[in-house]
Amino acid sequence: MTEVNERVRRLGVLGGTFDPVHLGHLVAASEVCQVLGLDEVIFVPTGHPWQKLGRELAPAEDRYAMVVLATASNPLFSVSRVDVDRPGQTYTVDTLDDLRAERGPAAEFFFIMGADAMRGLGTWRNPQELLTLARFVGCTRPGHEMTAEMMADERFLRVEIPALEISSTMCRERVANDLPIRYLVPDAVADYIANRRLYLT
């Protein structure tokens, strides 16, 4: 009998509404990938994020398509449909369960997020279980810091990333005000938004 010792793959997971995906997301993924020596970063567009139900999102298939276009040129980036395809609201505990089922036991997950968003982790679904499913990587930007408590906890990692003051909200508002978003999002994403007439109002 041959025994195959499968190497544990270090997988970044960048979950996001990505409404739309922009260069800040791509720079964060690329920087964390390099600094933590990840084998891959999986972008996971949300289906129905429960904390953003107050406003209308672009359809999940459009947000997914934009992430596919944005990541196509980087062989270390991939896109997962687990959240788009799961009915109901999106919870990260389900995202990580589904990715574990897909990728098997020889995978270690690093969930990448803005350092300030990490402060809200306690309000996410099943926070205690969540912390057993992945390590959490806070990307620091000016004015966005982790708490001292998190800095001391080995389940939380901190990676400094080049600051890009771009947000999805800014991109949507610029489109609505007829201002350019080229150079804030990949060209293919800007073209997709124009062709699909997204964010016009």
For residues 31 and 41, give the distance between their C-alpha atoms in angstroms, rounded to a whole number. Answer: 11
Question: For ligand NAP, which stretch binds (CB under 6 A), given 1-9, 32-40, 49-57, 181-189?
Answer: 49-57
Q: Does 26 bind ligand NAP (CB under 6 A)?
A: no
State the burial class of residue 78 (Cβ atoms within 10 Å of its Cβ: 0-12, 13-18, 19+).
Answer: middle
Q: Does 71 bind ligand NAP (CB under 6 A)?
A: no
Question: Percentage helix, strand, coil, to 5, in the chain?
Answer: 40, 20, 40
Residue with tokens 């997950």: 109
Q: Which is nearer to ligand NAP, 106 or 132 (CB)?
A: 132
Structural tokens at position 97:
């369960």
Q: Does 116 bind ligand NAP (CB under 6 A)?
A: yes
Total interface residues for ligand NAP by CB under 6 A: 30
Question: For ligand NAP, which stretch binds (CB under 6 A), given 4-12, 98-106, 159-167, 178-186?
Answer: 159-167
Spatial strand order in the sheet of 107-114? 77-79, 40-45, 9-16, 107-114, 135-140, 156-160
Rounded least distance, CB 34 to ligand NAP, Å:
15
* Chain residues in the site for ligand NAP (CB under 6 A): 15-18, 24-25, 28, 44, 46, 49-52, 90-92, 113-114, 116-117, 124-125, 139, 141, 144, 161, 164, 166-168
